[in-house]
Amino acid sequence: MLTKNIDLSNKRILVTGAAGFIGANLVMELVKRYPGCKVLGIDNVNNYYDVQIKEYRLDCIAEVVQDDDQFELVRGSIADRELIDRVFTEFRPEVVVNLAAQAGVRYSIENPDAYIESNIIGFYNILEACRHNPVEHFVYASSSSVYGANKKIPYSVEDKVDNPVSLYAATKKSNELLAHSYSKLYGIPSTGLRFFTVYGPAGRPDMAYFGFTNKLLKGETIKIFNFGNCKRDFTFVDDIVEGVISVMQVAPAENENGARYKVYNIGNNDPVNLLDFVDILQQELISAGVLPEDYDFEAHKELVPMQPGDVEVTYADVTALQEDFGFRPDTPLREGLRSFAKWYKEYYRI
């Protein structure tokens, strides 16, 4: 295991995407665990999905913040260079976690501009700010999407990732390349995290489990792609946050290329067939009282071909994460979906 070289207590921590699913959960854990730390969040709170859920997450953060100095939110875009420069100059973050990004594989086909603006220009702005305002550690979100059309499974961080099948995946691969070059040139300690299908309470409504629930509740038909033959490595949000916090405390040593740079997978290491996934989901929705006991699930599902930009399997090899940090995600899918179903019932007052 690696030795921790950053104590997060009393640190100034910048979290971009702080109203996002992972960002909000990360902020809450940081302020709960490290009372002396100061967290500054940046989020443009855009309407890619229901803004009310983002505001709900911000309310959840407010409930756990004990001191006004612990957390502050700046509403703005990381693509705004002037804003980012001002934030770095005034706040002087010691640790930066970049989670702000335009997410979603399918939406990248419809609206590529949003991905270039946030995931490329915004990411570049953060790197430039870290260059001119040196930080102890720069941690950023990559994605399992970078593995693209790779056939070898499980996906290892040692694998080549030169075959992206969506613009979203290409932007995330670009982030890794940019971070490596900035680490090599300017000595920025950087760690990229490839997240695998994150789910849980107050998650993103554009994700399958959330969208399926919305449709089933309305009596609509859900489409299961690739005729149900896809597998996903579903990872509960609490496990993701635990992984991020573990990584934040270890700035990487110089590698053989002279860069202080690492990349890790954070996934559950247990891919689940989509048909099995939706079966567990509907069972937990019935158990939580979101759907009626006699719900005819078979009448509300449709098996359809693969969507452009999708891949058949995601499967994380988390050996490096486990060896370096003694941690691996392990929340069972049923347990995680049960938490989501209970939250959904309460949030939507069903």
Question: Tens digits of per-residue pLDDT, 205-261?
Answer: 999 999 999 999 999 999 888 877 889 999 999 999 999 999 999 999 999 989 999
Question: How much is the pTM?
Answer: 0.96
Residue 297 pLDDT grade (very low, low, confident, very high; cuts 50, 70, 90) = confident
**Measured distance CA(142)–CA(173) in Å, rounded:** 7
Edge to edge, the sheet with strand 95-98 lists: 71-75, 38-43, 12-16, 95-98, 137-143, 190-195, 261-266
Selected from 1.20.1290.10, 3.40.50.720, 3.90.1640.10, 2.20.25.90, the CATH number assigned to the domain covering 12-198+236-267+314-331 reads 3.40.50.720
Q: Provide φ and ψ at 57, rounded to 5°.
A: -65, -40
Catalytic residues: 168
Query: Is the pLDDT reported for residue 173 higher than 90?
Result: yes
3-class SS shares of the chain: helix, strand, coil, % to 5: 45, 15, 40
Question: Tens digits of per-residue pLDDT, 322-336?
Answer: 999 999 999 999 999
DSSP helix/strand/coil, 346:
helix
- Where do runs of H (alpha helix) occur along 119-235? 123-132, 167-186, 208-217
DSSP helix/strand/coil, 61:
helix
Contact 300, 220 (CB under 8 A): yes
* Tally of CB atoms within 10 A around 304: 13
Query: Is the pLDDT reported for residue 47 higher than 70?
Result: yes
Residue that wins the pLDDT comparison between 297 and 122: 122
Q: Note the pLDDT of residue 309.
A: 64
Query: Is the pLDDT reported for residue 203 higher than 70?
Result: yes
Residue 226 burial class via C-beta count within 10 angstroms: exposed 0-12, middle 13-18, buried 19 and up: middle
Question: Tens digits of per-residue pLDDT, 103-158?
Answer: 988 888 889 999 999 999 999 999 999 999 999 999 999 999 999 989 898 999 99
